[in-house]
Structures are given as structure tokens and as C-alpha cells.
Amino acid sequence: MVELITRTSTDLPPDVRAAMSTALAAEPARTRGGQALTIIAQNIDQAAACEGPICQDTGMPTFEVKVPVGANQIELRQQIRAAVAEATRRGKLRPNSVDSITGENSGDNLGPGTPIIHFDQWEGSDIEVKLILKGGGCENTNAQYALPTELDHLGRADRTLEGVRKCILHAVWKAQGKGCSPGAVGVCVGGDRTSGYLHAKEQLFRTLDDANPDQRLAAIEAAVMEEANKLAVGPMGFGGQTSLIGCKIGALNRLPASFFVSVAYDCWAFRRLGVHLDATTGEITRWLYRDDKIAAIPMLPPEALAQGFPRTGREISLQAPISESDIRALKVGDVVLISGRMVTGRDAVHAHLMKHEPPVDLHGSVLYHCGPVVVKDANEAGGWRVTAAGPTTSIREEPYQADIIERYGVRAVMGKGGMGGRTLAGLAKSGAVYLNAVGGAAQFYARCIERVAGVSLLEFGTPEAMWHLEVRDFPAIVTMDSHGNSLHKDVEAESGQVLETLRG
Ligand code: SF4
């Protein structure tokens, strides 16, 4: 089980690699989308090479287990839970299980409801375990529709397959870059609200290149793939050729009064693997989704991997702490390379800063929306080592961000997916920018961190603490500037116009 979890967290399956290679080939290298995809490709190769998490958000571990008659499910559950705790201790999973009432992180990914384990019996003599690690950013972009309904840009969605097509397109458009596009969707037509979401997530266990045996659903899958990629949401919502790498649809019977369409959105870091186990010894007898005897094909040639961030010569270097005049000179679309000190802060830190002074001076600072994977390491100067450090979804901090920027003199907030109108106004008022880093590029960004200079608020747990990081040439794109411009708003509006043409 530890091996399954480790491999799932660190090495993308071949079908996802192939889809991402196709996306990379389709995007011109010197565009924002092309640069983002090159970082993602580097990240995939780096993660596999060092057995580090592909993304710092290792998600909600969800196990689908098939057992022969007579297998002891109580014991199996205990073993899976023990393996989850061990993989967390080894830094292959980030501690992600939080008490919903107190906010306390259990530290080992165990708690009520985590991990998710579903058992089923089958006639086989061995045990099958499939695992998916689906992170919070993409989970938050899931959508459920009750038909008939009215959809922005697409008009009425009726209780027909045409209505289903519209709902899926709407979900992809709504997600924009927040779920770390290009993503894949698992869809359920029918069921009730609970079984619909479950069945939608189960579709993500299908390979991206399989064929739906139901010709009617296969036709909708093909139509959605073609049309969603016309939206030009692109990698990370920066605009571009590829917005979706997979669409997998299943159907359940429903009550006559209900017609739900449930959409489970997964990001490009589509971590899904499985194993067959000898039911007596527990040995892995066979891997699912990958051939253990065939080495994974690297995303990039070694020279491209060694090259690091693909520069165009137009990048702007910033040294933190950053002055207001340097920030006011930036505009949407600029690519910046940050060096110096930055601090992390996500949900708990933002809530804290609304009521308390910051533990360190934030004037001129870069506040990074990131919940890194950090392990204790006696060989490191500060005693800590960051093993994964990509951005988290920023929109969650929308109610607080403008106030925090103004109160404490923050000059740049960095995360992914963009922020809303209140923050955009705050950036203009206070002289600050929003920087979009490439979501999921946890290994790539961990290599931009030279050292952990300190940590505050560790009582919030490692993902939520405020880490003080020394970084060098940390790349990100200005997607909201101090002049009222937002790339996110522009891409959403432009892709919305394309959606109008797909009303059918
Ligand atoms: S790639 Fe993005 S959406 Fe996916 S788990 Fe990582 S941060 Fe979340």
C-alpha cells in the first residue's frame, strides 16, 4: 500500500503523460500557456526522478478496493490507514486531514472520513486496489446541475443529452484555471445528489484514451472534447489551445422527478494508479494503468529538463522586499522572476491576520498562497526542507486580501486561479499585484527555494503555517496589476463569448 501511494503521488500514469505531451506540443513555446506547460512537464519529470509529490496538494486519498469472498475488510482497512500514515511521515502525502470544527490538522491524514475507502466484493481470487489523489483546487470546481436549468451563455439545458453536453461545457468554462487546467472531467448523468457525485468521480478511474461502450455517451464525450478546447481557457487559465484532456461520462438511473448532471473536475496532476495483490501474501502481482516493465517516457529531453525555466528574454527580475514604484511599473502579462524573501500564507494565516499583527514585517513582501510539504531535516541550515511548494487556489482569500495588503504593505500576492473585484480594487489602491504561479508545479518551485529561513504560526499545521522562504528566480505571471487589469476577467469574458457559439 505504501508503494501504491508513493507511486501514485509521484509518477503520473502513461495515459495522462501522453495527453499532457499532446497539450505541450500544441502550445507555442513562447506563449504564457507554452511556458506554463513546459514548467508542468519539467515538474512531472522531476517528481518521478526524485520520488517527490507531483503537487504539494496530495488531495483526498480515495481507495476503491475489490476483495474476494472471505477477505477480512477490517484488517485491510487498518493496513490502508497505516500505509497512509506512513506515506505521510515519508513526505509522499501532505498532512491534509483537518478537523472541520476546530481546524486542527491530524498530521497523519487520518480522521473521520479520511482516507476514503470503498469496498466491493468480486469473484476474483486476488485483491484489486485503485487509488486516486484529487486535490482541493480541482475538487472545489466540481459542479452539480439539476435539469432543466438556465446556464450562462448557453441558455436552457433540458433533460436531454444535449442538456448534459451544455452542463459539462458550462462546468469547464466555470472552472477556468482554478482547477489547474488543462483538466479532465468525470461525469454522471442521473443518480441522486450523492450517488451522482460518487459515480462522476468513479469515471476518473477510466483511462483517458478508452472508448465509452455506450455510443450515445461516447458521442457526447467526443463533442465536449472538441468544443471545450475551443474555449481557449488554456493552461492555468492563461489562454491557449488545450483546456481539457479528458471527458468520461457514466449514467445511473434516477427518480422521475430528478435529473442531475454531476461533474467531477480533476486537474492536469491526475494521479491515479492501482494494483492487484496476492490475497494471501499481500505482494503486488500486477500494476494497473502502467506496465511495471516499461519505463515511463520522459515529458522532456534531458537538455530541456536541465535548462530550467524556459526564458524568452522579456522576464523582469524582482528583488524582495519590492518597492511600490517597481510594482506600479508591472502590467498584466509580464513574467517576473522573484528573488529574496517570501512568506507563505493561506486560509488560517489570512483569518489570523485579520485579527492580529503579522509575526514578521510584511512591508514590500510577497505573500505566497501555498501550503508546502515541509519535512524536518537536520542537514539543512534551518532544520527544515521544502519537498513540494506549488500555489494554492487564491480566490478563497478574497474576503481578506485587500485589507491585508493595505494594512501590512504587502506588494505582491501569489497563488493560482486569480482573485475577484475586491482584490483588484485593493491592488490599485495600495500599489500591489497578483502573480499567478503554475498550479501543481510543486517540484519545480521547490527547486526555486534556496532555504527555509524560519516559520511562524506552526500551531496551524505545516500546510497552514507561515513559512519564511529564501527564493531565487521564482517565475510567475502578472495576471492582475495595479491599474485595474485582470487577465482572468479577460479570459473568462472571451471564453464566455465562445460558449455562446456552442449553444447548439
Ligand atoms: S495541480 Fe492544482 S488543482 Fe491539482 S491538486 Fe495541485 S494545486 Fe490542486
Of 10, 44, 54, 55, the one to substitute when testing ligand 1's pocket (max ligand atoms within 8 A of C-beta) is 55
C-alpha 59: how far from its chain's center?
A: 9
Rounded Cα distance, 61 and 132, in Å? 6
Cα–ligand 1 centroid distance for 178 (angstroms):
9
Tell me if 448 sits within 8 A of 471, measured CB to CB.
yes
HEC letters along 192-236: CHHHHHHHHHHHHHCCCCCCCCCHHHHHHHHHHHHHHCCCCCCHH
Residues 6+ apart with CB under 8 A from 250: 186, 187, 188, 189, 199, 200, 202, 203, 217
Q: Could you tell me the mean pLDDT of each successive run of 10 residues in the chain, 504 residues long?
A: 98 97 94 93 95 94 97 96 96 94 94 98 97 96 98 98 98 96 98 98 98 98 98 96 98 98 98 97 96 89 84 93 97 96 96 97 97 87 88 95 98 96 98 97 95 95 95 96 97 97 92
Cα–ligand 1 centroid distance for 33 (angstroms):
17
Look up the pTM and report it.
Answer: 0.94
pLDDT at 292: 85
pLDDT at 215: 98
Residues 6+ apart with CB under 8 A from 361: none
pLDDT at 380: 80
HEC letters along 288-300: ECCCCCCCCCCCC
Residues 6+ apart with CB under 8 A from 413: 366, 367, 368, 369, 394, 397, 401, 405, 419, 423, 432, 433, 434, 435
pLDDT at 490: 96
The grid coordinates listed for 240 are 491557449
Of 39, 180, 443, the one to substitute when testing ligand 1's pocket (max ligand atoms within 8 A of C-beta) is 180
Sign of torsion over alpha carbons 153, 159, 165, 170? positive
Cα–ligand 1 centroid distance for 396 (angstroms):
14
Instruction: Kindly state the DSSP code that residue 483 receives in the 8-state scheme.
Output: T
Q: Is 313 left (phi over 0), alpha (psi -120 to 50) or beta?
A: left
Number of H helices, E strands in the chain: 15, 20
pLDDT at 504: 82
Which amino acids bring their CB within 6 angstroms of ligand 1?
55, 57, 59, 135-138, 179-180, 267, 269, 390, 439-440
The grid coordinates listed for 1 are 500500500
Residues 6+ apart with CB under 8 A from 24: 34, 37, 38, 40, 41, 299
Give the number of other CB atoms < 10 A from CB of residue 504: 12
pLDDT at 244: 98
Tell me if 72 sits within 8 A of 280, measured CB to CB.
no
Tell me if 363 sits within 8 A of 321, measured CB to CB.
yes
User: What are the distances in angstroms from CA 143 to CA 136, 146, 185, 346?
Assistant: 14, 10, 10, 24
Q: How far apart are the first and last CA of the chain?
A: 47
Residue nearest to atom 5 of ligand 1 (CA): 135
Rounded Cα distance, 390 and 237, in Å? 16
Ligand 1 atom nearest 268 alpha carbon? 1
Rounded Cα distance, 206 and 199, in Å? 12
Rounded Cα distance, 204 and 67, in Å? 21
